[in-house]
Structure 1
Amino acid sequence: MRRPSPPSLRRRILILAASMLLGAAGLLMTFISDYANRAADQALDRLLSAAALSIAGAVLVEDGAVVVEMPFAAFAMVSGEERVFYTVLGPQGEHVTGYRDLAPDTPLATTVDPVFSDIRHNGEPVRMVRLGRLISTAQGTGWVTIRVAETRGARAALAAEIVGAALVPVGVLTVLALALVWIVIGRAFAPLAVIDRALRQRQPDDLSSLDVPVPVEVQRLVGGLNNFMGRLEQSTARMGGLVAEAAHQVRNPLASLRAQSEMALDEPDAAQLRARVGRIHTSAVEASHLVTQLLMDATISHRMETEQRRPISITALVQEVVDRLDPDLRPRVGTDIGAGTDTIVVNGDRVGLREMLRNLIDNALAYSSGDIQIAVATQTGGMVRLVVRDRGPGITDADKARVLQRFVRGEGASGTVGSGLGLAIAQGVVAGHGGTLTLSDRAGGGLEVIVALPVEDAVQIALPRARRLGAVGAVLLAFALSTLGAPRPASADAILFPAPAAETQRMAIAGTTDTALFAPYIAAFQAENPGVAVTYLERDSLALYDGFLAGTLDPAPDVLISSASDLQMKLANDGHALAYQSAWLEALPAWAQWRAEVIGFTYEPAVIIYNPRLMPPGTQPRTHLDLAVLLEEQPTRFAGRVATYDIERSGVGYLLASQDQQISSQFWRLAAAFGRVRARLSDSSPAILDSVASGELILGYNVLGSYAFARQAAGARIGIIVPDDYVLVLTRSMVIPRTAPNPDLARAFVDFALSPAGQRVGAGPSALGAIIPDSTGTWTPERISMMGTGVIQPIALAPVLLVALDPQRRSRFLTTWQEIVAPGRP
Structure 2
Amino acid sequence: MIGTGSIGRRLTFLLAGVAALLSVLSWWMVSGLAREAAERTQDNVLAASATAIAETLRSEQGEVRLELPYSAFSMLGAISEDRVFYRVMAGQDLLTGYAGLPALSDPPSPGQVAFDTGEFSGEPIRMASVSRLVLAGTQPVPVTVTVAQTRNGVGAISADLSQLAALLAVAFFIIAAVLSAFAARTSLRPLNEIAAAVSRRGPSDLRPLKRDAPAELAPLMSSLNRLMDRLGQSIRRSEDFIAEAAHRVRTPLATVRTQAEIALRSIDNETEKQRLRAIIRAVDESSRSAGQLLDHAAVTYRADDLDRVPIDLSDLLSHTAAALEPTAAMKDITLQLETSHVRVEGDPVLLDNAFRNVLDNAIKYSPEDTNVHMRITSTADEALIIVTDEGPGLGDGPVQELTERFRRGSTAKGIVGSGLGLTIVEDVLSAHGGRVELASRQGGRGACITLVLPLP
Is the TM value for this pair above 0.5?
no
TM-score, normalised to structure 1, is 0.24
TM-score, normalised to structure 2, is 0.42
Which is higher, the Rg of structure 1 or of structure 2? Answer: 2
